Amino acid sequence: MLEQWLGVLVDAGADAFHLSQPAFWQPAFPEFDEQLNLAGWAKKLVGVTAITVGSVGLNADVYQSFAGKRARAASLNALVARLEGDEFDLVAVGRPLLQDPAWLEKIRQGRYDQIADFTPAAFSTLS
Ligand SMILES: Cc1cc2nc3c(=O)[nH]c(=O)nc-3n(C[C@H](O)[C@H](O)[C@H](O)COP(=O)(O)O)c2cc1C
């Protein structure tokens, strides 16, 4: 079903899919042996560039943040392992950049001790 649905979009010209889920580490279809996330399934089924997003660098999902819960900064090791394993091609980040626009630069420079937790107050930085 997902293959058919995505196939229609590929036939219409889509060459990349940005597949959001609450947490990138959650299997999209736990009933199958392969524990791929949604981006992983899209890449496997239709072979286009797949972008994952969801709780990268954080230990709690966006819905918990909308409910006012703090999300702690978390390791990127599992994400990197899955990226290097070609489960997906690109990674998108939401809340960490709301919390700290320098997040990516800090990650790139290995300044992990300077990465802050996500606080729901950061949502107000959009206004
Ligand atoms: C303030 C805010 C607005 C968002 N608006 C949209 C939206 O309009 N459409 C959408 O598909 N996702 C939206 N999202 C979801 C994000 O694209 C992303 O999937 C989600 O925040 C998970 O990534 P994160 O855990 O890195 O924050 C929004 C997220 C936030 C925090």
- Per 3-state DSSP, the chain is made up of helix, strand and coil in percentages (nearest 5) of 40, 15, 45
What pLDDT is recorded for position 126? 73
pLDDT of 127 over the 60 cut: no
Q: Taking the CB of residue 101, how many other CB atoms lie within 10 A of it?
A: 10
78 sits in which H/E element: helix 77-84
Q: What is the dihedral of CA 15, 19, 25, 27, to 10 degrees?
A: -90
Task: For ligand 1, atom 5, name the residue with the nearest CA.
Answer: 94
User: What average pLDDT does the chain have?
Assistant: 96
Query: Rounded mean pLDDT of 83-109?
Result: 97
Ligand 1 pocket check: which of 18, 19, 61, 62 to mutate, most ligand atoms within 8 Å of Cβ?
62
**How far, in Å, are 66, 104, 117 from residue 126 at the CA level?**
14, 18, 18
The percent of residues above 90 in pLDDT, for the chain, comes to 96
CB 25 less than 6 A from any atom of ligand 1: no
Q: Report the pLDDT averaged over residues 88-113.
A: 97
State whether the beta carbon of 40 lies less than 6 angstroms from ligand 1: no
Cα dist. 46→11, 95, 108, 113 in Å? 10, 29, 31, 39
pLDDT of residue 61: 98
Q: Strand (E) positions, 35-92?
A: 49-53, 90-92
Summarised one tens digit per residue, pLDDT across range 27-57 is 999 999 999 999 999 999 999 999 999 999 9
**Protein residue whose Cα sits closest to atom 4 of ligand 1:** 94
55 CB within 6 A, ligand 1: yes
